[in-house]
Structure 1
Amino acid sequence: MLHALKLLMPALFPSWRFFDVIAPSPRIEVAMVDTPALGEPDEDAWRTCRPAPARLGPMDRIVSFFWNPHWNETLYLATCAERLMQDAGEHPGREIRRRLRRDLASQRDESQAAEEPRAAYFRFRLVFVSRQGERLRRDVAYVSPAYPTVDPQDR
């Protein structure tokens, strides 16, 4: 019985040494561009992909503890971004593009009433944010080429 308890304890009380390195996770930002030219979009053109809500009420927190598929997918995007930085092949970049296209399509559907013209291409970048004293430091680690906002293969 004592041997079984010794085997069970690490599962019940995991150690922080479980993680090799605790490092900042890259944030994904997206910019709309009109042409697939290689020029860098203006800094104002970049916006955070799937920003966290500014405020969650108590009931929203309880519900999200049990059911939160949108946040789970956001965590998956962060994992894909980390793998893209580790040069893990084409899959992470493809998954990020696919989900960004879906987000852009849903935003386009919501803004059709305003008839806002949409760019035909988008780019994404991975940004590491770290604190240096009182300031936040932003390091751009990766900038993608331009991709069409609509791709029939993503459907």
Structure 2
Amino acid sequence: MATEDLMRKALEALGEVDGPMSIEVIHRLVDAGDVQEPMSIAEVSDLLDVSAHTLRYYEKIGLVEVDRDSSGHRVYGPESVRRLVFLTRMRISGMAIRDLQHYVELVDAGEGTVPERLDMLLEHRDTVRRQIKELTLSLAATEYKIATYGGRTGEQDSQPSVTGSSPRGVS
């Protein structure tokens, strides 16, 4: 299951929601799917659409603990995979590695750190919401320019249409 599949699953779960998300929907968004058995680094890499190098880096900097089999190969258990799902989603949303390291340290420190973790996530949520608004405005500006060049706007348009010079303003 690549990132596109994870995004589809997340968006489908969000589409089922009218109003605040239930705890069940939230669990589905951070769930690693039906991961029950240990996975190899290649399988986790494919599941999350990240490189094996990235997974080894996350292990090296302490974001995730990974067991080894009798041959010394990495074996990712369900808990490690769930953590990696969360970490990769936070990275996609722009959370800095140092913030992820701090968050993981807090998680590993136990329940007493829940208020600080909550504060971190609330701040990150506000940042993501601001970015979504900014991206929405950027998309609107892009759609406007496409329309000024005679192209169709919306997702169905995949081929640009060039009709000559730009009307007034920036090209």
Larger helix proportion of the pair: 2
Q: TM-score, normalised by structure 2?
A: 0.29
Which structure shows the higher strand fraction? Answer: 1
Task: Provide the TM-score with structure 1 as the length reference.
Answer: 0.31
